[in-house]
Amino acid sequence: MHFQFSRTVWNGSRVALALAVSSLSLGGLAQVSQQTMSFSQARSALHAQSAQLAASRKAVESAQLRREGMQGLGGPSVAATAMAYRYSASVDVDLDPARNALGNALGQLPPGVVGGIAQMPQLPSNYNLQRKDNNASASLSALWPVYVGGLSDAVREGLDGKAQEAQADAATTQDQLHSLLVQRYFTAQLAERAATLRRRALAGVRSHDDAAQRMLQAGVITQVERLQASVALADAQQQSEKADSDARLARSALARTVHSAAGVQPSTPLFVNLQAFPALQEFQDAALQNHPGLTKVAAKHTQAQALHDASEALRKPQVLAFGMREVNTQGKPNWVAGMAVRWTLWDSVDRDKLAAAGQRAVEQAELTDAQVRSDIALLVEKNWLAVEQARTSYQSGQAQEDLAHALLRLRVAGLKEGTSTSLDLIDAQLNLAKVQTERASAANNYVQALAALLESSGQTAAFEQYMARADIVITPDAP
């Protein structure tokens, strides 16, 4: 009967110690050295070493540089062109028409004149002209889109939206990694607390097992009661080893999160804020101002509007100024300058439908914004209630812990007076460890719910402020 109660007590605490990091392999648990690290140090290490954060920062820089590179879009451009060339030209000239015309002309001249001309060489039937030369030329040309219907502004507006989206994604990544760090850091602290409590319980059970052996030898208890104490000791030892293994696994997961080669020993304790918590409306208002999800939706709206404006710009006339001048040191250089106007009167593309499609995208972004605002407000309310529930759960556990302490004192006194058995005392000790573990788990639930609330309201930076103002702190070795 007593053995069954003890097993039930510890099975209940197993659930509270389930770790989110159970997928890690046991091969990575062996740590030769341990590095004590506060939460602030762990956060700094995560920001310095995280490849995911570094990648998001690079995406922001890329989008910003692309926008800066297109700042002068729509302004004048000047180009220089130079070329050097060699040419060879060969032309055959047919002289037969000229010979025939000359013969006809001679026939009309006086005989004396014709005789003198006849002594001259005759024209050949054709003549080949050949010319070879080297030459070079250079010119400057300028082009200035004087009016393009607002296309340049639309492109810049779209790139602004891309930069805003990259910044929102980077902020989301940072908030999610912060919540992951809170989860793994304080889960490791909870595992340390549970392991400490189980080691204490094991020490108490072992001492009472020794006492049971002496009582059996003295004939005070039966052999069955002695065997029950031995079974309780074996179960307590198994649970203590399991708690130590869970604690090592949690430390390993934390070390991987902060990219530490050595094992990490968390030093910042679990905490609970018992003072009055800010009202729900304050968190919802903060979320509507700071949540990166809303920033991303706004960036999508900007991009949709820019695309629509660009489509409309292509329907308008375009005016270009141009000019070109040869760079020629010999003679007077050639040049040209003027204005060009282009207006598409008809196109195979249905621009009306493209414009309508762009307008639908703008309307979609506006509707998405309304839905996201509603979803975020609901998420904030859910997380706010979770914080209140976790805090209430921790406070209500005080009565259970007081009762467990009182029961343990009663069993200790009863054992001295002979009104309680050694197994009664063991059960009381295990029950106290169970209650204390559950309270530590409630504190961890509070910390996790607080991190989720601050993330959903866009206030992750305020986490350490709440941590500094905590009324209750629970260290692993707390009594």
Q: Give the tokens for residue 149.
A: 């219907």
Give the three-state DSSP class for 132. strand
81: in domain: no
Q: Which residues of 426-457 are buried (b: 16+ CB within 10 A; e: fewer)?
A: bbbbbbbbbbbbbbbbbbbbbbbbbbbbbbbb
Answer yes or no: is 155 within a domain.
yes
28-42, 181-195, 212-226: segment of lowest average pLDDT: 28-42
Three state DSSP letters for 72-122: CCCCCEEEEEEEEEEEEEEEEEECHHHHHHHHHHHHCCCHHHHHHHHCCCC
Mean pLDDT across the stretch 166-180? 96
Rounded to whole angstroms, the Cα distance separating 95 from 104 reads 15
- The larger pLDDT score, comparing residue 206 to residue 99, is at 206
| Distance from chain centroid for Cα 274 | 33
pLDDT value at residue 195: 95
pLDDT, tens digit, for every residue of 321-368? 989 988 876 667 788 999 999 888 888 888 889 889 999 999 999 999
Q: Phi and psi (nearest 5°) for 311?
A: -65, -40
Tell me how far apart the alpha carbons of residues 78 and 63 are, in angstroms, rounded to a whole number: 27
The CATH number given to whatever domain includes residue 205 is: 1.20.1600.10
Q: Return the higher-pLDDT residue of 197 and 90.
A: 197
What share of the chain has pLDDT > 90, as a percent? 57
pLDDT number for residue 332: 78
Rounded Cα distance, 164 and 156, in Å: 12
More confident residue, 68 or 218: 68
Residues 6+ apart with CB under 8 A from 251: 31, 34, 188, 191, 263, 264, 265, 266
Higher per-residue pLDDT: 415 or 458: 458
**pTM as predicted:** 0.79
CA distance 60 to 68: 12
Q: What is the pLDDT of residue 415?
A: 76
Containing structural domain, residue 380:
2-26+37-73+150-316+352-474
Residue 109 within any structural domain of the chain:
no
Mean pLDDT to the nearest integer, 444-467: 96
pLDDT computed for residue 136 by the predictor: 79
In-domain check, residue 367:
yes
Position 99 pLDDT exceeds 90? no
Q: Is the pLDDT of residue 65 over 60?
A: yes
Q: What is the mean pLDDT of the chain?
A: 85
Decide if 339 is inside a domain: no
Q: Is residue 90 part of a domain?
A: no
- Token pair in block for residue 80: 């220089």
Can you give the pLDDT at residue 272? 96
Q: What percent of the chain is predicted at pLDDT more than 70?
A: 85
Residue 85 lies in a domain: no
Q: Is the pLDDT of residue 8 over 90?
A: no
pLDDT of residue 348: 84
- Does 255 have pLDDT greater than 90? yes
State CA 234 to chain mean position distance.
47
Q: Is the pLDDT of residue 21 over 60?
A: no
For the chain, what is the domain count? 1
Query: Is pLDDT of 426 > 60?
Result: yes
344 assigned to some structural domain: no
Instruction: Give the pLDDT score at 7.
Output: 35
pLDDT of residue 122: 62
pLDDT of the residue at 254: 95
* Range name among 206-210, 233-237, 396-400 with the lowest pLDDT average: 206-210
In this structure, is the dihedral angle defined by the CA atoms of residues 427, 433, 434 and 439, taken in order, positive or negative? Answer: positive
More confident residue, 211 or 51: 51
CA–CA gap between residue 67 and residue 302 (Å, rounded): 14
**Residues 387-410: tens digit of each pLDDT:** 999 999 999 999 999 999 999 999
- DSSP at 252: H
The four Cα atoms 313, 314, 317, 318 give a dihedral, to 10 degrees, of: 90
Query: Please, which pLDDT band fits residue 17 given cuts at 50, 70 and 90?
Result: very low
